Amino acid sequence: MAQITTRVGTGYDVHAFAAAEAHRPLIIGGVTIPYDRGLAGHSDADVLLHAIVDALLGAAALGDIGTHFPSSDPHWQNAPSTDFLNHTLNLLRQHGWDIGNLDTTIVAERPRLSPHIQAMREHLAHVTGLALECISVKSKTTDGLGFAGRQEGIACYAIVLLVRQIS
């Protein structure tokens, strides 16, 4: 008789806004958001995908994003974070894990993200193979408090459920 094992993982990521003269695009959840500044980082600095990758790796006890995609490795410089997610999904499959659901919260005062949430969910569904109903992306402000409230950067929290069937 098959037995089901589950694991929960949490992830967090934060990036400061890059200087306007850096001309970096703002990419969150694999979606380019119209805004005058992108986020600073070694890769494309996608806080949503980075938090999800960290949560997935943590739930499977496979390390963290810095272990698999170190900023010291030039291979990952300016890399799309969707590549990080695809690599992580392959690792999970090799270890017999499937994703049950994703629940995420993006913390940003600006830009307003609600018009882009559906596109982020659709991108995640496309990459992961999950149904939209298994993917939650929320955005919150801090009402002017902290670094996000001062519009210095964006943070993201992620929780994932992994499922593995054992024969």
pLDDT at residue 167 is higher than 80: no
In this prediction, residue 83 carries a pLDDT of: 96
Mean pLDDT of 141-165: 96
- Domain segments of the chain as ranges: 3-166
Residues 47-66: tens digit of each pLDDT = 999 999 999 999 999 999 99
Q: Per this entry, what is the length of the chain?
A: 167
- pLDDT band with cut points at 50, 70 and 90 for residue 165: confident
In this prediction, residue 77 carries a pLDDT of: 86
Partner residues linked to 135 by β-bridges: 102
In this prediction, residue 75 carries a pLDDT of: 87
Q: List phi, psi (to 5°) of 31.
A: -115, 130
In this prediction, residue 166 carries a pLDDT of: 80
Residues 82-108: tens digit of each pLDDT = 999 999 999 999 999 999 999 999 999
Percentage of residues in the chain having pLDDT higher than 90 = 88
Q: Count the neighbouring beta carbons within 10 Å of the beta carbon of residue 152.
A: 13
pTM above 0.75, yes or no: yes
In this prediction, residue 2 carries a pLDDT of: 75
Packed helices 117-128 and 81-94: angle between N→C axes, nearest 10 degrees: 40
- pLDDT band with cut points at 50, 70 and 90 for residue 30: very high
In this prediction, residue 127 carries a pLDDT of: 98
pLDDT at residue 115 is higher than 90: yes
Helices (H), the chain: 47-59, 65-68, 81-94, 117-128, 146-149
In this prediction, residue 57 carries a pLDDT of: 98
3-166 carries CATH number 3.40.50.300 = no
